[in-house]
Structure 1
Amino acid sequence: MKLYSTNNKDLRVSFQEAVFHALPQDKGLYMPEVIPTLDSAFIRHIQQYSLPEIAFHVAHALIGDAIPSADLKAIIADAINFDAPVRFLDAEQAVLELFHGPSFAFKDFGARFMSRVMGYFSKQGDQLLDVLVATSGDTGGAVALGFLGVEGTRVTILYPKGKVSKVQEDQLTTNGKNIRALEVDGTFDDCQAMVKTAFSDEDLNRTLRLTSANSINIARLIPQTFYYFWAYAQLKSQGAGDVVFSVPSGNFGNIGAGLLAYKMGLPVQHFVAGTNVNDTVPRYLTDGQYLPQPSIQTLANAMDVGNPSNWVRIQDLFDQDIDSIRQVVSSYTFTDEQTKQAMDELFAQYAYVACPHTAIAYLAAKQYRNEHPGSYASVFLSTAHPCKFPDAIPATAFQAVKLPEGAEALAGKERRVTEIGVDYEAFKTYLLDNR
């Protein structure tokens, strides 16, 4: 497998290099040199395969001989050891639940796979691997649990002060061992900017072996394709035909993985990106002008991203052609008030408790169906367990939430966290002084 930078298609690196040097020096993002088309027979009979079997088939097609088949199967068996069920709410709409992993969020797919891949490659070197990650909520918890105790790695997580939920913060700050948390007095975009600056800092990279665990890392993107294929397999086994996926979108890695799956041959009629009031992409698809803005805090905090990094990958998938993107992707934006109403509606009509991000995906699916009636399954993605958002979910609905195993134990653990400002030099000093 060879990859190029979205800023330089003449650049070619190996999968291993792209995993460890997540951000090219030209500040593009890595993309596969060739996007393979999966065998049509595999797609026709996909309902006959298990989730790990589908994951191996997809990963092997993308990665090729970068990891031997037996080792890749072992990585997948260890990393993807939980389900992602599709649940129909009525005849036309279903929810894909992606929160059944250890951190109760969809990012377990990417973080666990990536940590195992990095651990596999790290056995070939003797320098400690420093993993940097910025989080707006769920990424940090998934990365922390994915890398906890992984030999040869050390993880530093940056999160915005006062902008993550209590459960999310507990997952970031109570691990110890090889996991460190930095509370940044700023926004997610500030955290992400400092991480990106670190990767382009030649002085720092001469001292530390840095890599990223954000969705800018191609090893995060690949495993997120797995659940789109798995959802399609479940839908097919239940007799569903055409499908429209509605995806809550912040940094646009989730829907980016879905579009990569689409390019590999997954039969999807359309994708819908639901956002909160951080509406950079909906505005772009409407007027053709990509104008990032400072992020705004909302109930759906993991989507509070004003300048989504992964959008460049989506543009690359469609050769920078906005009309081609519009044929496959629609996008809508929703306020906190609309999000609250959607959570109430899901509970009142279907007895379903949804987190704010899931509620936005539901609203986007609903709006798309209103504008495009037809015979297809609307599948909206539930990206986080509602237990992570006690202050955002209406009280009546939250009373019905059943805590997943492990959630109660978090509250009693000691927090270990370092506070810093939006100051790259202070961040760099922390990394160098605490190596």
Structure 2
Amino acid sequence: MKYFSTNNKELRYSFKEAVIKGLAPDKGLFFPVEIPKLSDQFFNELPNQNLAEISYEVAKYFVGEDIEEKELKNICKEVFNFPIPLVKVEEGMYSLELFHGPTCAFKDVGARFMSRCLSAFAKESNKDVTILVATSGDTGSAVANGFLGVEGVNVIILYPKGKVSHIQEQQLTTMGQNITALEVEGTFDDCQALVKEAFADDELNAKYKLTSANSINIARLLPQSFYYFYAWAQLQEKNKEVIVSVPSGNYGNLTGGLLAKQMGLPIHNFVAATNRNKIVPDYLDSGKYEPKPSVQTISNAMDVGAPSNFSRMMEIYKEKYSDVIKDLKGAWYSDEEIKVIMKEVFDREAYILDPHGAVGYLGLNKYLSKEKQVGIFLETAHPAKFKDIVEDVIEKEVEIPNYLQECLKKGKKCVVIGKAFQEFKTFLLQ
């Protein structure tokens, strides 16, 4: 499999090159030259396979010869060793719980897969890899956990000051070893812009072997397609149309789902569900894509005003708006609407939604016709990561998983920087 840049379709890179570079030299995102169509036999066997087996069967088409078959199987077995259950919330509506990994967020899937791929490639090189990652909450901790103590890899996390939850910040700033946390006086978009500018800087690239672990990295994005196949495998009601609602910020999670559909997964429609940062729902309404400065909400992982993966979404549909809106619906919700549905679902079904899952639920509920359809929404983070908000809404204490409890006991270690690129560059060069 070869990859091109979304800014130049004539360029060609291997999977290994795309993963190590993270971002193409022309600042485009890497995208596969072709999306494979999976066989009827693959879909027939899905219900009898576990997540690691499914992941290997999909991954092998995208990895090609860059990772040997045995090692790729071992990577999938090691990465996908935690449950991703499809849980019935109410009649015709299911939650795909993606928060049972080591850092209690869906980012564990992509971050762990990418870390093992990069580790395999780092063994072949005599130069350390430096990973730059911008996070609006969960990405950083998942990446840090995935790479913690990995030889030949250093991780620098940029997060927006005062715009992540307390538990998320503790996860980002308490790992140490080969993990450095930078608290940026700005927004997530500012953090993401610093990372992109670093990749384009000749002096930094001469000194470091830079790559990214955001969903701009193809090895973070591709595994996010795997669990859509696993969700479908667990679903009993395959005689109905399937609608999937994806709480969305940088749109890597949704792009993974759209890739799965292109590979043949029989999903009827997706819902791009988000908060007040409604750039993609606005595009779906008008056909005009207009990035805007992000605004802060209680569903902070979706506080993104210029989603990177929009260009990949457009690549899937060859920028044909009429095809996009056949597969994709948009929805957005205010903090108050999110709180109301969290309380309502808890009181009615005794199911605890985190603020992001609540957005997914709302988006699904808007478009789902239960007579002929069945719906899945993605629960992307454990409710305990938003403990104060969730407990205030549902008026009940939320149990904190052991991993998060350990993070809360540790001392915060980070470096505060402004949003000017020169300050970031100076830090890196020192």
- TM-score, normalised on structure 2? 0.98
- Measure how far apart 1:159 and its partner are: 0.2
- Counterpart-to-counterpart distance in 1, 2:185 and 2:46: 47
Aligned to 1:318: 317
Amino acid at match of 2:405: E
Matches within 5 A, 1:251-262: 251-262=250-261
Amino acid at match of 1:18: A
Matches within 5 A, 1:231-310: 231-236=231-236, 241-310=240-309
- Measure how far apart 1:91 and its partner are: 2.3
Give 1:429's match in structure 2, choosing from 412, 419, 426. Answer: 426
Aligned to 1:153: 153
* Alpha carbons 1:111, 1:143 under 8 Å: kept: yes
* Alpha carbons 1:240, 1:377 under 8 Å: kept: no
- Measure how far apart 1:135 and its partner are: 0.3
- Measure how far apart 1:401 and its partner are: 2.3
- Measure how far apart 1:193 and its partner are: 0.1
Amino acid at match of 1:352: Y
Aligned to 1:60: 60
- Measure how far apart 1:35 and its partner are: 0.7
Matches within 5 A, 1:216-231: 216-231=216-231
* Partner SS state of residue 64, structure 2: helix
* Alpha carbons 1:246, 1:271 under 8 Å: kept: yes
* Alpha carbons 1:138, 1:302 under 8 Å: kept: yes
- Counterpart-to-counterpart distance in 2, 1:176 and 1:127: 21
Matches within 5 A, 1:8-87: 8-87=8-87
Aligned to 1:347: 346
Aligned to 1:93: 93
* Alpha carbons 1:133, 1:157 under 8 Å: kept: yes
- Counterpart-to-counterpart distance in 1, 2:395 and 2:141: 21
* Partner SS state of residue 261, structure 1: helix
Mark the runs of 5 or more structure 1 residues left unpaired by the alignment: none
- Measure how far apart 1:243 and its partner are: 1.2
| Residue-by-residue CA offset, 1:150-173 (whole Å, 9 max, x unaligned) | 110000000000000011001100
Amino acid at match of 1:408: Q
| Residue-by-residue CA offset, 1:73-127 (whole Å, 9 max, x unaligned) | 1111111110100001122101000000011000000000000000001000011
* Alpha carbons 1:353, 1:398 under 8 Å: kept: no
- Counterpart-to-counterpart distance in 2, 1:432 and 1:70: 39
- Counterpart-to-counterpart distance in 1, 2:123 and 2:39: 33
* Partner SS state of residue 402, structure 2: coil
- Measure how far apart 1:432 and its partner are: 1.1
- Counterpart-to-counterpart distance in 2, 1:44 and 1:77: 21
Aligned to 2:375: 378
| Residue-by-residue CA offset, 1:115-154 (whole Å, 9 max, x unaligned) | 0000001000011110000000010110110110111000
- Measure how far apart 1:177 and its partner are: 0.1
- Measure how far apart 1:399 and its partner are: 2.7
* Partner SS state of residue 273, structure 1: strand
* Partner SS state of residue 392, structure 1: helix
- Counterpart-to-counterpart distance in 2, 1:38 and 1:304: 34
Aligned to 1:197: 197
* Alpha carbons 2:171, 2:404 under 8 Å: kept: no
- Measure how far apart 1:345 and its partner are: 1.2
Amino acid at match of 1:225: S
Query: Is the counterpart of residue 112 in structure 1 residue 112 in structure 2?
Result: yes
Q: 1:429 to 1:97 in 2, by over 3 A?
A: same
| Residue-by-residue CA offset, 1:231-280 (whole Å, 9 max, x unaligned) | 000004x6563311100000000000000111111110110010100011
Aligned to 1:359: 358
* Alpha carbons 1:340, 1:394 under 8 Å: kept: no
* Alpha carbons 1:353, 1:400 under 8 Å: kept: no
Amino acid at match of 2:331: Y
* Alpha carbons 1:344, 1:394 under 8 Å: kept: no
Amino acid at match of 2:289: Y
- Measure how far apart 1:358 and its partner are: 0.4
* Alpha carbons 1:56, 1:73 under 8 Å: kept: yes
- Counterpart-to-counterpart distance in 1, 2:140 and 2:371: 39
CA RMSD of aligned residues (A): 1.2
- Counterpart-to-counterpart distance in 1, 2:98 and 2:112: 14
* Partner SS state of residue 102, structure 1: coil
Superposed structure 1 runs of 4+ greater than 6 Å apart: none
Q: 1:306 to 1:8 in 2, by over 3 A?
A: same
Amino acid at match of 1:361: G
- Measure how far apart 1:394 and its partner are: 4.2
- Counterpart-to-counterpart distance in 2, 1:197 and 1:391: 35
- Counterpart-to-counterpart distance in 1, 2:279 and 2:295: 11
* Partner SS state of residue 144, structure 2: helix
- Counterpart-to-counterpart distance in 1, 2:325 and 2:2: 28
* Alpha carbons 2:387, 2:398 under 8 Å: kept: no
**How many pairs were matched up?**
430
Query: Is the counterpart of residue 402 in structure 1 residue 399 in structure 2?
Result: yes
- Measure how far apart 1:60 and its partner are: 0.8
* Alpha carbons 1:252, 1:308 under 8 Å: kept: yes
- Counterpart-to-counterpart distance in 2, 1:316 and 1:325: 10
